[in-house]
Amino acid sequence: MTAPTDTFTDNLRFLRALIARPKNIGAVAPSSRALARAIARQIDPDRPGPVLELGPGTGVITAAILERGIAPERLTVIEYDPDFAAAIAARFHNVHVIQGDAFDLKRTLGARLTEPFAAIVSGIPLLNFPMARRLAYMETLASQLAPGAPLIQFSYGMRAPVVPPPGHSVHCAARVWANLPPAQVWMYRKI
């Protein structure tokens, strides 16, 4: 079950976070529903296993993942910002919400890291971080995927925000003009 969306409250929460911690936000507006749907389309709801979302922010992508057919019990989200994490937990019942650091995935997930993920969605603003940190982050995520499972990252750059980890490829799965700013959905997958 999901609670109704309060766009005004979400936008206000987003603006407060943007002002307080701009490096953690990485956008001038919350992700659009068009971007969220483009990301969720990359997930196969029939593939068994858990799904991980990193940096859900206001939850628009979380909602699209659930609408795509992923059962809430299969979805774990990690949100760094405590206000966003609390709002996500209140809105999306039965979704596993963890307030923690996506860059320290093994410590943040702890005991929840029991089986490979059927998909990982990253909303972390990677362009705000040094390349070495981006590479380490993507390699950690790739190591947690089931064979053939997608690692989905969106960004506002015209090129992928990080080269694929060894043994992986990357391609642009979607360009979303109906987002502020326009965004690209990047799909990383094991070769």
Sort 155 into a burial class: Cβ within 10 Å, 0-12 / 13-18 / 19+.
buried
**The pLDDT value given to residue 99:** 97
Q: What is the pLDDT of residue 31?
A: 87
Residue 13 has which token pair?
A: 């929460």
Domain 7-190 falls under CATH 3.40.50.300: no
Instruction: Write down the pLDDT at residue 160.
Output: 96
Which of 35, 42, 34 shows the shortest CA–CA distance to 187? Answer: 42
Strand order in the sheet with 96-99: 96-99, 75-79, 51-54, 119-122, 151-155, 183-190, 168-176
Q: What is the pTM of this model?
A: 0.87
- pLDDT for the residue 93: 94
| pLDDT confidence of residue 30 | 80
pLDDT value of position 29: 63
Q: What is the pLDDT along the chain (191 residues), one digit of tens a residue?
A: 444 556 655 545 444 444 455 554 555 468 899 999 999 999 999 999 999 999 999 999 999 999 999 999 999 999 999 999 999 999 999 999 999 999 999 999 988 788 999 999 999 999 989 999 999 999 999 999 999 999 999 999 899 999 999 999 999 999 999 998 999 999 999 98
